[in-house]
Amino acid sequence: MSVFREDVLEGKVAFVTGGGSGICKGITKALMAHGAKAVITSRKQERLDAAAKELAEATESECLGVACDVRQPETVEAALDRALERFGGVDVVVNGAAGNFLAPAAQLSYNAFRTVLEIDSIGTYTVCRAAFDKHLKANGGTILNISATLHYGATPLQTHAAAAKAAVDAVTRSLAVEWGRLGIRVNGIAPGPIDGTEGISRLAPGKARDAMIAAIPIGRMGEIEEIANVALFLCTDAASLIHGETIVADGGHWLGGPAMQLLGG
Ligand code: NAP
Ligand code: COA
């Protein structure tokens, strides 16, 4: 049972990039289960159609899957137009579309580094900007940018993603300052390792999984539902004073890493 009132997002519409899979599908499910309607986007229409059906059945709310590529602004604008046509507004924008893989910096091609920044950082800005122009500027709303903790310390083999998420956090803070007076609340979430996701299967394959768990103070990875709860909180009036902040939800992982070794972790 949810700790949130089940109609806390009644009448709201969410636009979620990366909403057809993993963490952002879980966020969409939580928003819908609490009254919101949703538009989920990513590059693959087939995956979106299956996810939209599953989410609608699970929550008894409405969900539309619209393919777009956050690297192509015109497709983002068209997806927002579809959302506005179908539901009449976009109150919550979640930027979850991302790309990542393990690769030493010395082996990354120029294009590989650029690709990850284009999806995560420029993609986040593009969606924020298009949603601002088309609806948020006149109506207010909430933006949630999905980040990570990779750039708090240093993360070898993920130079590209660490740089990309650092830029995402910078966008979150700057937009919060520029758009706050318009009733647009801009925040982020920095998940730690989340079990059962594409991210973890790529970044902690095989035995690396055990080493990762050993470095997490709470002794386990997070669950998708736990990130979804943070997103839900940030979308409600309970978070009305939280603005320009990226909330870490990682069971203490980024603080704990090296220190956990001293504890024999
Ligand atoms: P995921 O399921 O692979 O989510 C990434 C999504 O982005 C996919 O739905 C993908 O769908 C979409 N996408 C990729 N490129 C795109 C593009 N150019 N345009 C539009 N959509 C695009 O991975 P996840 O592990 O759940 O990660 C979700 C978010 O959480 C990401 O922002 C990730 O950085 C962050 N995060 C995850 C973890 C973790 O432990 N998993 C930890 C920290 C942060 P298509 O392939 O259909 O386009
Ligand atoms: N190691 C090193 N380089 C890699 C790589 C890897 N594992 N995977 C891809 N690249 C390089 C490619 O070689 C290419 O560079 P090149 O043109 O110099 O050869 C560049 O990255 C772009 O790859 P491409 O496959 O053309 O891009 P894409 O736009 O089709 O896919 C990715 C983007 C690479 C990020 C892909 O992994 C993806 O779609 N990811 C989405 C899901 C995801 O990453 N989820 C986890 C989120 S935490």
Going from the Cα of 253 to the center of ligand 1, the distance in angstroms, rounded, reads 20
pLDDT band (50, 70, 90) for residue 195? very high
Q: Indicate the burial class of 22 (C-beta count within 10 angstroms; 0-12, 13-18, 19 or more).
A: buried
What per-residue confidence (pLDDT) applies to 1? 87
Domain that holds residue 159: 13-262
* pLDDT (average), residues 54-58: 98
Residue 264 pLDDT more than 80?
no
* pLDDT (average), residues 183-190: 99
Q: Is residue 155 part of a domain?
A: yes
Ligand 2 atom nearest the C-alpha of 203 is 48
99 lines ligand 2 (CB under 6 A): yes
What are 131-137's contacts with CB under 8 Å, separation 24+?
A: 131/15, 131/80, 131/90, 131/93, 132/179, 132/184, 134/77, 134/80, 134/81, 134/84, 134/90, 135/80, 135/84, 135/89, 135/90, 136/90, 136/93, 136/179, 136/182, 136/184, 137/182, 137/184
| Average pLDDT of the chain to the nearest whole number | 97
Q: Is residue 26 part of a domain?
A: yes
Reading the block at residue 180, the tokens are 């706050």
pLDDT above 90 coverage of the chain, percent: 96
Alpha helix locations (H) across the chain? 22-33, 45-59, 73-87, 110-117, 123-131, 137-139, 159-179, 198-203, 208-214, 224-235, 253-262
Q: Is residue 216 part of a domain?
A: yes
Q: Is residue 8 part of a domain?
A: no
Q: Is residue 184 part of a domain?
A: yes
pLDDT band (50, 70, 90) for residue 265? low
Going from the Cα of 231 to the center of ligand 1, the distance in angstroms, rounded, reads 16
Residue having the nearest C-alpha atom to atom 16 of ligand 2: 111
Ligand 1 atom nearest the C-alpha of 47 is 47
Q: Is residue 84 part of a domain?
A: yes
Q: Is residue 5 part of a domain?
A: no
Going from the Cα of 111 to the center of ligand 2, the distance in angstroms, rounded, reads 9
Tens-place pLDDT, residues 85-110: 999 999 999 999 999 999 999 999 99
Q: What angle do CA 249, 254, 258 make, to 5 degrees?
A: 150
Report CA-CA distances (Å) from 223 to 22, 98, 111: 10, 19, 32
pTM equals: 0.98
Ligand nearest the Cα of residue 96 is 1
pLDDT band (50, 70, 90) for residue 258? confident
204 lines ligand 2 (CB under 6 A): no
CATH number of domain containing 210: 3.40.50.720
Residue having the nearest C-alpha atom to atom 29 of ligand 2: 115
What per-residue confidence (pLDDT) applies to 257? 77
Residue 15: how many CA atoms within 13 Å on its side-chain side? 33
Going from the Cα of 151 to the center of ligand 1, the distance in angstroms, rounded, reads 17
Distance CA 98, CA 78 (A): 20
What per-residue confidence (pLDDT) applies to 259? 78
Q: At what angle do helices 159-179 and 110-117 cross, to 10 degrees?
A: 30
Number of H helices, E strands in the chain: 11, 7
Residue having the nearest C-alpha atom to atom 35 of ligand 2: 99
36 lines ligand 1 (CB under 6 A): no
Q: How many domains does the chain have?
A: 1
256 lines ligand 1 (CB under 6 A): no
Q: Is residue 111 part of a domain?
A: yes
